[in-house]
Structure formats: structure tokens, C-alpha cells
Amino acid sequence: MRVLRIATLIGGLLMTGLAQATLVNPGFEAGFTGWNTTGQTTVSGFANEGTASANLVAGTTAIGSVESSLGLTAGSIDAATADGTNGTGKPTDGAAIWQSTTASNGEVFEFAWYHVDNDGAGWNDTSIAALVTPTSQQIITLGDGSLNFGTSGWMTGSLTAPEAGSATLGFVMFNQGDTSVDSEVFVDSTSVPAPGVLSLLAMGLVGLGLGRRGKPVAPV
């Protein structure tokens, strides 16, 4: 009986720790259902997987409003991204999509992106991904003006939740130093990978416990 209780307890704890976040409509096949948007955002047929992706074009929404919508602190996008070579280089306006869910500690959010630079290195229009949790915020650059009127091709990236609790995953495309000649980014295949080895271990432990049920334990 002791083996059964220990196996069941360990399995239950592992499965609880691996509870998955749920993203609604991660591949945009149902338009923007489940997602919030601001600025110039459309669903495109240019996709990495399936038949749809999200297209964000820089401009329209002031960058401070974008930060507020995603739960980012004011000025955090500027602090996390490189300035352009024109000497002004401050984020001005952009477009964003975001979705809130509940994540486990260490949960990984994966995505694909394709950046199209229309403004050159001097203005450094930039796309980012962000993950905001109760006590942290992460911002990573996807594409920027270093492409110099080029494209990135489809690339993949990920962000990891450093704690359990609420989590907001967002993507932003913004202008730097001006409010014209807007660059764009496509986002696709946002997902939370299924639990791997640890979940199999948990199920194995639970199975071990069930297998022991009803079998007498030899006296010591």
C-alpha cells in the first residue's frame, strides 16, 4: 500500500506541474478568434503551417498604448530593442496581437515569424515577441532594419514562462524614428508543446501504483 500511495502522489504532483496552458486558435485558422488586436492587423493566407497567419503592419497605434495593452511597463520596448542609425531611433507607433492564458512554471510558448523590412537599416522598424507573467516580462527581437529592405524567411522562436500563473503572449510590429514607410511581420503556429519525458514518467508511476493494487505486500 505504501508503494501505491507514493507512486500515485508523485504521479499526481508531476501531472499537476505539467498542466498545459491553452491558446485559443493558435494558428489563426479561425481569424483572430481568441486574440486581441490593435493597429493594422489582418489574417493572411501566407502561412508557415496550415492556411493562415497573422499579419501586423507598423503604424496606427501609439507605442505607449501598445505597451499598456500587453501589460508591459512604459518604455520597455525601447529599452529592449536597438535604435536605428538615424540618431532618433525611438519606437513611435505600431500594431499588436496578444492573448492571455494560464501557464505552468517552465512552460514554453513556440511560434513562427516572417519579417519584411520596408524602411531600411537607418530607421530600424522592428518586430518583437513578448511574454508577461505576474512578476516578469520578456521581450525578444524577431526582425529589424538589419535586413535592410530584405526579408527574414520563416523563422521559429520561443519564450518560457519563469513562473506559474497568468501569462500574456504578444507580438508587436513598430516604427522607429518616424511614422511612415511601414514594415510588417507575419506570425504563425503559436503553440504550447505537449509535455514530454516528465509526463511519460508521471504516467508510468501512476501505472506502477495501479499495477500494485490488490497485490499483497510480503511481510518484512
C-alpha cell at 176: 522607429
CA distance readout (Å), 193 to 26, 47, 158, 159: 12, 19, 11, 12
On whether residue 199 sits in a domain, the answer given is yes
- CATH at residue 76: 2.60.120.260
On whether residue 27 sits in a domain, the answer given is yes
How many angstroms separate the CA atoms of 39 and 58, rounded?
Answer: 8
On whether residue 15 sits in a domain, the answer given is no
For the residues 192-204, what does the mean pLDDT come to?
Answer: 50
Whole-structure pTM value:
0.81
On whether residue 11 sits in a domain, the answer given is no
Structure confidence by residue, pLDDT tens digits, 87-121: 567 899 999 999 999 999 999 999 999 999 999 88
What is the span of the domain harbouring residue 46? Answer: 20-212
For the residues 205-210, what does the mean pLDDT come to?
Answer: 45
pLDDT band at 196 (very low <50, low <70, confident <90, very high): very low
How many angstroms separate the CA atoms of 27 and 36, rounded?
Answer: 14
